[in-house]
Amino acid sequence: MDSGSVVEPERYEEQHVHQVYEQIASHFSSTRYKPWPIVKSFLQSLPPGAVGLDVGCGNGKYLPVNRDVFIVGSDRSTNLVKIASQHQPHAAVVADTLALPHQAGRFDFAISIAVVHHLSTPERRREAIREILECLNEGGRALIYAWALEQKDSRRGWDEGHEQDVMVPWVMKTGKKNPNEDGSTEKTFQRYYHLYRSGELEADIVAAGGKVVESGYEKDNWWAIGQRDPGNKP
């Protein structure tokens, strides 16, 4: 791989993921408040005093689920981290999923919900999962969610056979006080997603040096719980 193609996905994600979230942060946050059931029960099952990570925490909607544990959330978007950092007793910092500011082997758990699907190459998605798994201690578990290709009953309607790399519009009302130049009051942002097909998330966890403890499908998403696997030397 030449240096040109190493830089490219980063710039691409900067434009089609990071800048979009930074601009839609507050509107996005107002639509993200209901925790998904499996994430909620994963967090509620943790013993008091457990310390973990929420990688790509967004507005921190999972932070209020359990106040007897300590979670350090991280996200690329400063505007979202400002919102997330208000959930006590937890914390949130601005960081890149591929360069987490955490020690290896230190954490009891991690969640990364709807994040790795924003990385635009297979190598970078696996690298993100590797980065998360490395933070876990022995027995530590990471719950990872990614948008599913197979969701024919959703309003997007994608299914097996569809292109997996897609642009998904986010429509934000600008309000009548701040109309666009043509007088319209909606602004559309395009976000990049890689839609995971059945089995792909589990394969990425194994490719990242981990093992899959449990996995499944919930609300148009694939999810998997991964652990570090000392016996897995890819």
Whether residue 77 contacts residue 56, with contact meaning beta carbons closer than 8 Å, is answered with: no
19 binds another protein per the rule CB under 8 A: no
Give the three-class secondary structure for 149.
coil
Among 107, 158, 189, 192, contact with another protein (rule: CB under 8 A): 107
* Total number of residues that touch another protein (CB under 8 A): 33
Range in contact with another protein (rule: CB under 8 A) among 89-97, 152-160, 164-172, 221-229: 89-97
* Site string (43-62) toward another protein, x via CB under 8 A: ----xxxxx-----------
* Local structure of 139: helix, strand or coil: strand
Q: Is 89 in the site for another protein (CB under 8 A)?
A: yes
User: What contacts 24+ positions apart, CB below 8 Å, involve 38-43?
Assistant: 38/143, 38/216, 38/218, 38/223, 39/65, 39/111, 39/113, 39/143, 39/145, 40/65, 42/109, 42/111, 42/143, 42/225, 43/69, 43/111
Q: Determine which residue in the list 1, 5, 34, 99 makes contact with another protein, applying CB under 8 A.
A: 99
67 binds another protein (CB under 8 A): yes
Residues interacting with another protein, by CB under 8 A? 47-51, 67-70, 72, 74, 76, 78, 81-82, 85, 88-89, 91-96, 99-104, 106-108
